[in-house]
Chain A
Amino acid sequence: MSTPKISVRGVEKVFPVGREPFVALGGVSLDIADNEFVTVVGPSGCGKSTLLNILAGLEQPTGGTALVDGRPVTGPGPERGVIFQQYALFPWLTVRENVEFGMRTAKVPKQDRRERAEHFIRLVGLEQFADALPKTLSGGMKQRCAIARAYAVNPSILLMDEPFGALDALTRVRLQEQLLETWSEERRTVMFITHDVDEAVFLANRVVVMAARPGRIAEVIEVDLPYPRDEDMRLSPEFGALRNRVWHAVYHQRQIKEPAQ
């Protein structure tokens, strides 16, 4: 593998809370290759969302560097699309206007904008709701709209922060399958945060397991299951074995005592 798409080099994030500073990330290093699908799973407080926000350019690390295409991240950029757990659709805009938002800020000509919005709205299956306001959509539909909106600015990286966390189990499984379908049609480098072990294994080329206090990478587990993945795969013994490994890595973490300061 040549230069990695995403390269996290000893990234630290320390929040000054009270007398004892809180170490959200204590020196995390991780490389993600072009078009790779990486999921990051871990207990709450392990800094997985902080890591994603740093890559998104929404937060600055207090130490180390985050590189995208070999260049340090200094702020948000159009090559990195972000999908939030709370959907973050603009409620006063229709599905189409939401999807066009990023292209409007990038001053994409109207005709182009229309066509590309149309394309991605169809890709996520919302063509019947293109002119609907977000309040009329279900949670799953909202998140599909958010995915289309992120895709529409044509990022090479998608950063997804527990995007299906607020959805019911069935919708969540459906959206996982749809996401893989979309991803196989429109390949991107994906970093996907979750706390759901099944989801982590089902989606990823590679599962990064993180641990808390201080936030760090505990284990990286390769998922050598072929795409496309479907329900049968989810029930296969190979999947089960990987799932157990990840589960074990997440829930039986050694507690490293922070050195007293």
Chain B
Amino acid sequence: MAVTTAGATRDGNAPARPRKNRTFLVLNIISIVAGIAIWWGLSLAGLQFPTPGEVVAAAWKMIKDGTLATDVGASLGRVLAGFALGSVAAVIVGFVMGWYTVARGLFEPWIQFFRTIPPLAMLPLVLVLMGIGESPKIFVIFLAAFLSCVISTYQGVVNVDKTLINAARVLGAGDGTIFGRVVVPASTPFILVGMRVGLGSAWGTLVAAELLAAQAGLGHRMQSAQLYYDLPTIFVGIIAIGVLGLIMDRLLMIAGNKLTAWQENR
């Protein structure tokens, strides 16, 4: 029999998956290699790009002198703080909105209004009010994560299958039990989708916030490299942002799959 590794962690009911997965992986690798080759070709052909080699050299230098670690640390610290605060607030507000009609009526117009404003557009105001320290950046990230996640959580609570709530009621569950043991687990998939969107939005907002006002961080590094026409450093910044974003998204996805493994038809 074929080697099965991927199927084993789930429920092992998809024998066709490993082979399909492998084909997919091979295509992924071909695509990445080809992309880098095209980049290399373009930079050799006289475009103003640095070659991959120059970028690797720049990255190596930044790793050795510790600037990359400092920048990544500063950026990750901000995004994680803002994202964590935003998600927690979104889950709480989303639940309250879904559970109490009064709260829904009161919160909804403000959330809908602020949702249409890109969080970055708040930055000038926030900088004036909160100064140029860490708090304005974290606040803008918080806003980005919160606004992406809150609607989704609220939808999750509203969409909980009425039959499940009735089933809990006839089994003697009161409101508290229904909330904790039915509504919360049933809306988890929605919350996780919201958190993934929120994380993406938070990451994007962070980098832009750092471009505008920061003393450290990946955005700041790219901003100062721009002044010196230092293209390899800008490339390192871009790649680091992409890789970190991808890793965080995947981690959240894996955690989400673990938490919602009970879902049907996946």
Q: Which residues of B contact A82 (CB under 8 A)?
A: 166-167, 170
Q: Which residues of B contact A88 (CB under 8 A)?
A: 161, 163-164, 166-167
Interface check A260, CB cutoff 8 A? no
Q: Which of A63-82 contact B (CB under 8 A)?
A: 75-78, 80-82
> Do the beta carbons of B11 and A136 come within 8 Å of each other?
yes
A133 to B166, CA, bound (A): 20
Q: Which residues of A contact B163 (CB under 8 A)?
A: 84, 86, 88
Could you count the A-B residue pairs with CB atoms below 8 Å apart for me: how many are there? 66
Closest to A88 in B: B167
Q: Which of A25-79 contact B (CB under 8 A)?
A: 56-58, 75-78
Interface check B45, CB cutoff 8 A? no
A89 to B164, CA, bound (A): 7
> Do the beta carbons of B170 and A92 come within 8 Å of each other?
no
Query: What 0/1 pattern do residues 135 to 149 of A give for CB contact below 8 A with B?
Result: 110000000000001
Closest to A107 in B: B172
Q: Which residues of A contact B185 (CB under 8 A)?
A: 90, 92
A23 to B261, CA, bound (A): 44
Interface check B17, CB cutoff 8 A? no
Q: Which residues of B contact A81 (CB under 8 A)?
A: 170
Closest to B174 in A: A105
Interface check B250, CB cutoff 8 A? no
> Do the beta carbons of B262 and A153 come within 8 Å of each other?
no
Interface check A1, CB cutoff 8 A? no
Query: What 0/1 pattern do residues 82 to 102 of A give for CB contact below 8 A with B?
Result: 101010111111000000011
A35 to B186, CA, bound (A): 36
Interface check B19, CB cutoff 8 A? no
A93 to B173, CA, bound (A): 16
> Do the beta carbons of A153 and B167 come within 8 Å of each other?
no
> Do the beta carbons of A135 and B264 come within 8 Å of each other?
yes
Say how far B259's CB is from chain A's closest CB, in angstroms. Answer: 9
> Do the beta carbons of A102 and B172 come within 8 Å of each other?
yes
Interface check B2, CB cutoff 8 A? no
Say how far A79's CB is from chain B's closest CB, in angstroms. Answer: 10
> Do the beta carbons of B11 and A153 come within 8 Å of each other?
no
Say how far B77's CB is from chain A's closest CB, in angstroms. Answer: 34
A101 to B172, CA, bound (A): 9
- Chain B interfacial residues counted at CB < 8 A: 23
The 8 Å CB contact of A92, one of B171, B172, B262, is B262
Known: A84-B163, A88-B163. A153 touches B171 (CB 8 A): yes
Say how far B263's CB is from chain A's closest CB, in angstroms. Answer: 7
Interface check B169, CB cutoff 8 A? yes
Residue of B170, B173, B186 with highest tally of chain A CB at under 10 A: B170
A136 to B185, CA, bound (A): 18
Closest to A75 in B: B169
Closest to A102 in B: B171
Q: Which residues of B contact A58 (CB under 8 A)?
A: 166, 169-170
Closest to B173 in A: A105
Interface check A106, CB cutoff 8 A? yes
Known: A84-B163, A92-B185, A105-B177. A135 touches B169 (CB 8 A): no
A81 to B264, CA, bound (A): 26
> Do the beta carbons of B172 and A135 come within 8 Å of each other?
no
Q: Which residues of A contact B169 (CB under 8 A)?
A: 57-58, 75-76
Q: Which of B172-198 contact A (CB under 8 A)?
A: 172-174, 177, 181-182, 185-186, 188
> Do the beta carbons of A153 and B172 come within 8 Å of each other?
yes
Q: Which residues of B contact A93 (CB under 8 A)?
A: 262
Q: Which residues of A contact B211 (CB under 8 A)?
A: none
The 8 Å CB contact of B172, one of A78, A86, A90, A134, is A78
> Do the beta carbons of B171 and A149 come within 8 Å of each other?
yes
Query: What 0/1 pattern do residues 243 to 263 of B give for CB contact below 8 A with A?
Result: 000000000000000000111
> Do the beta carbons of B171 and A101 come within 8 Å of each other?
yes
Q: Which residues of B does A touch, CB under 8 Å? A: 11, 161, 163-164, 166-174, 177, 181-182, 185-186, 188, 261-264
Question: Other CB < 8 Å A-B pairs besides A78-B171, A105-B173, 9 of them?
Answer: A75-B169, A76-B170, A81-B170, A84-B166, A86-B163, A88-B163, A90-B167, A91-B263, A101-B181
- 24 A-B contacts, Cβ less than 8 Å apart? A58-B166, A58-B169, A58-B170, A76-B169, A76-B170, A77-B172, A80-B170, A82-B170, A88-B163, A89-B167, A90-B164, A90-B167, A90-B182, A90-B185, A91-B263, A92-B262, A101-B173, A105-B168, A106-B172, A133-B262, A134-B262, A135-B262, A135-B264, A136-B11
Q: Which residues of A does B touch, CB under 8 Å? A: 56-58, 75-78, 80-82, 84, 86, 88-93, 101-102, 105-106, 133-136, 149, 153
